[in-house]
Amino acid sequence: MVETAQEGAPLKFDAGEYIFHHIGDSQVLDLQPFGEIHLPTLRLGPLVLPITRHVVMMWAACAVIGLLVWLANRKRSMVPHGIRNLMEAMVVFVRDDLARENIPHHADRFVPYLLSTFTFVLVCNLLGLLPYGATPTGNIGVTAGLAGVAFLMIQGAGIREHGLVGHFKNLVPHGIPLALVPIMVLVEFIGMFTKPFALCVRLFANMTGGHVVITSLIGLVFILRRAWVGAVLSVPFSLFIDGIEILVAFLQAYIFTMLTALFIGMSAHPQH
């Protein structure tokens, strides 16, 4: 990030490296000014599994969700309150507003998956806003994994409802001219993969974009080397974008889960 051409030369700020250092993944947890933690690499036979900070953040997200579930079920009562009330409201929201609204029949069987997806994406989004945190959903590999699981659920819902042959027969709308069948099969087959691809890219791009804007604003202080830039422009606008990022964290978790439920409903109950 900082370079010196020769002894005593002025420090040079590399904005690109600064931004990519913030949004990228690495095997180092930067806890400055307290130091750094170098993460290990696991080797399982021929497999090399590096532990990165995004992996650590996903573990932290799982730990937070597990803690919330434990706190919600620690003391049960007829009238929910505290954490239990919050978790119950989230369950009802996912069940009524996401699953049942987008999946016409047997929606409740998909609630556990949709609820897990919603809470995991939401917590991962929010962890990136904490000091020393990172956003796992700003990693294309993480969002691709989530989209891959969604793809399996979408296809599995259609196969379970109509059988393997019936599911793929539903790719072709009923009543279209025979000459258009090959084109429709190709279009619908491509659409099977573009849906999870859109889920992957949308979540990745939205969660990365906000952090790029914030780091760019902060970087202006070092580029222009003017204290008033930070006081007047960088800090106020960064705080404003940070507030918007909280809304974006909830919104992107909702959109990802809602579209997944919609695609499951379209696969299990196609409207031809």
Tens-place pLDDT, residues 179-194: 777 888 888 888 889 9
91 in a domain, yes or no? yes
48 in a domain, yes or no? no
Within 10 angstroms of residue 59's Cβ, the number of other Cβ atoms is 12
Q: Sign of the C-alpha dihedral, residues 236, 239, 245, 247?
A: negative
The pLDDT confidence band at residue 4, using thresholds 50, 70 and 90, is very low
- What's the mean pLDDT in 102-119? 92
Q: Please enumerate in sequence order all residues whose Cβ is within 8 A of that of 252, keeping only pairs 6 or more positions apart, or say none.
A: 121, 125, 137, 202, 203, 206, 207
210 in a domain, yes or no? yes
d(CA 198, CA 176): 27
What is 226-258 written as a DSSP string?
-HHHIIIIIHHHHHHHHHHHHHHHHHHHHHHHH
94 in a domain, yes or no? yes
d(CA 96, CA 260): 15
191 in a domain, yes or no? yes
How many independent structural domains does the chain possess? 1
The neighbouring-strand residues paired with 28 are 38
- What's the mean pLDDT in 48-68? 92
Please tell me the least confidently modeled range out of 1-10, 42-51, 91-100, 228-237: 1-10
pLDDT at residue 143 greater than cutoff 80: yes
Written as one letter, the residue type at 56 is: V
pLDDT at position 133 = 82
Looking at per-residue confidence, does 213 or 200 come out higher? 200
d(CA 62, CA 136): 12
Q: Specify burial of residue 251 (Cβ count, 10 A radius: 0-12, 13-18, 19+).
A: middle
95 in a domain, yes or no? yes
pLDDT at residue 29 greater than cutoff 50: yes
13 in a domain, yes or no? no
Range of the domain at 255: 53-268
Q: Sign of the C-alpha dihedral, residues 184, 190, 194, 196?
A: positive
Peptide bond into 270 cis (omega under 30): no
71 in a domain, yes or no? yes
